Structure 1
Amino acid sequence: MKRIFFCFLLLVGSHYQSFGQIQSQKENNWKNFTYDMGNVFGGIGYSYSRPFHWEGDDWANFGYLAAGTAALFLVDDELNNWTNGFSEDVPGFITDYGHQYGNPNNNYMLTGGVYLAGLFTKNEKLRRTGVLLISTATAGGFLQQVSKRIVGRARPRSGASSGTFDPLHLDRVFNYDSFPSGHAMLAFSNAYAIAKQFKSPWIKAGLYTVGFIPGFVRIMDDFHWVSDVAFSTVLSIFIVESIDRYLDSKYNEKYNAQAKKISWNLNFGPGTMGVSARF
């Protein structure tokens, strides 16, 4: 009888111990979740405030971005005519991927999945990557939504020229919300943020290529001009770099102090125009 009673006590004790561990785990997950969401909003605010703290190199990079966008703006119509010449040759699976991946709903499914995987597996690196993905997508997404209403640039498929604008629309006017490209910004910010977690230049290059597909497809299907996508792609890099450096002060995993900085440059010359990255 004593032996049976003793086994019963062990069973009850182990039950309450397991219950306590589950409760502790839930509390720890909630604590990490609230901390991470605070960093999401903190990162967004940090990225928006950076222009007030820019110095010489920062303003120079912004100048390169503005100059490159302006140069592409001057030849947008010609580039659009050129891309229309082979747009039907783009494989259907690439077109489908390009339209779907840059969609905000699908984007947040990916970023949220990465974050939750890190949260429940207690992997801080994965958690931080998820926070970076969510905050950069939110910062870039909100910025491009507001900007395209203010700018009111005509889409190529509207039939108007690249220099046609109808600004300051608070409601969405589909044919006049070309600049900047939300698909390009969301897709490339994801690719760039994930690529920061790898040292191999080949992996980085592969991720950049995949991240550029949505912007490329939006050009092919006359949703955006080349300058829209180029501006959005480079701006997404600025946003990711800014928020990632902010997160260095919030997590034990610090990537920017260890990683070799990537140098991005705008290249112009006779018959050439583009963006290059040096690893």
Structure 2
Amino acid sequence: MRTSHYFLYGALLLLAPCCLMAQDKDSTKVAKDSLPAFGNTPKLDTATNLSQDSVIRYRVNGTYLKSIIQDLGYTASRPFHWQGRDFAKFGVVMGTAGLLMAGDYEIKQFIQRNKTSGLTKVTDQIEPFGNAYSPYLIGVLYLTGVVSKNRNLEHASLMAAKSLLISTALYTTAKIFIRRQRPTTTDHPFSYSAPFNGDKRFTSFPSGHMLTVTSVATAFAEIYGKDYPWVPWAAYGLATLTGATRMYQNRHWSSDVWIGASLGWFVTRTVIRSQRRHSVKKGTYSLQVVP
């Protein structure tokens, strides 16, 4: 695991004693669809006082640290509660992964044959956003939110940090069991080793860089996308370019990148959904049933 990730974890833990403040329950207007699909959760009237991203706005305190563990369990258990549409989405993700796996070798060869010095310089600048820069970026945005008293930015940064922590835990576990050989050491995309093999050549699946940058991108796109439509385009655009650099540098197969992006998106969306669910349970606003 990179030093930057340890920096993020350490920063959260060190800040906890200094920020033991009650969890805020800010509220503004909310649209009817701001709480997506929680079984029989009633619809909300447009007059309900609530922000699009949430009522609960986290600060680094015991409540926030506890929510990380809770949301990890919630995220890991979601597949057991999937319904028809969820399985359809899963089928699309896995079907696309299968198609990419079938073409992984050809995609690798095409990219490697078309390398240029100019593209190499560009990819060298973009690649760190997938691992080295993202945790520091979250930290800078969080501190900016605290200093400027921008609760939206403070909250969004903590949500991104939580999603990144949970995503990292899940993808690290996946890499322990799915030991796929990296394209830098083989031309065979279906070369795997036994689980728990410590050989670093077999750490290709899924792409950690893509999962990291997609987790962060999804958090900010979900929280700011309604008010600032350019945010999702910028966030996902950077994530896409980061994934492309991993293939260009021959560090991952295309299917690794796809699954990394899908997992990062799923985890972050689930974490945000969990937070909204807790807002409902804690009674931080009044539900008005729309007939």
TM-score by length of 1: 0.73
Name the residue aligned to 2:141.
114
Paired residues for 1:82-161 under 5 Å: 82-103=110-131, 105-161=132-188
Partner SS, residue 252 of structure 2: coil
Name the residue aligned to 1:166.
193
Work out which of the two has the higher radius of gyration on C-alpha atoms and give 1 or 2: 1
Name the residue aligned to 2:261.
233
Name the residue aligned to 1:77.
105
The one-letter code sitting in structure 1 at the alignment partner of 2:216 is: N
Name the residue aligned to 2:24.
none
Name the residue aligned to 1:186.
212
The structure-2 alpha-carbon separation of the partners of 1:225 and 1:202, relative to structure 1 and needing over 3 Å to count, comes to same
CA distance in 2, matches of 1:122, 1:29: 14
Between the two proteins, the alignment pairs up a number of residues equal to 226
Name stretches of at least 5 consecutive residues in structure 2 with no aligned partner: 1-15, 22-58, 285-291
Superposed displacement of residue 120, structure 1: 4.6
Partner of residue 64 from structure 1, selected from 87, 92, 109? 92
| Richer in helix (by share) | 1
Partner SS, residue 184 of structure 2: helix
The structure-2 alpha-carbon separation of the partners of 1:112 and 1:203, relative to structure 1 and needing over 3 Å to count, comes to closer
Partner SS, residue 192 of structure 2: coil
The structure-2 alpha-carbon separation of the partners of 1:164 and 1:28, relative to structure 1 and needing over 3 Å to count, comes to closer
The structure-2 alpha-carbon separation of the partners of 1:113 and 1:29, relative to structure 1 and needing over 3 Å to count, comes to same
CA RMSD in angstroms comes to 2.5
Asked if 1:224 corresponds to 2:252, the answer is yes
Asked if 1:206 corresponds to 2:252, the answer is no
2:179 and 2:197 in contact (8 A); partners too: no
% identical aligned pairs: 25
CA distance in 2, matches of 1:92, 1:79: 17
CA distance in 2, matches of 1:207, 1:181: 18
Kindly provide the CA deviation profile for residues 103-143 of structure 1, in whole angstroms up to 9, marking residues without a partner as x: 2x533222233233334544332232122211111111121
1:184 and 1:215 in contact (8 A); partners too: yes
TM-score by length of 2: 0.70
CA distance in 1, matches of 2:140, 2:70: 21
Name the residue aligned to 1:263.
none
Name stretches of at least 5 consecutive residues in structure 1 with no aligned partner: 1-25, 255-279
CA distance in 2, matches of 1:128, 1:251: 14
Name the structure, 1 or 2, with higher relative contact order (CA <8 Å, separation 6+): 2
Superposed displacement of residue 28, structure 1: 8.8
CA distance in 1, matches of 2:214, 2:272: 15
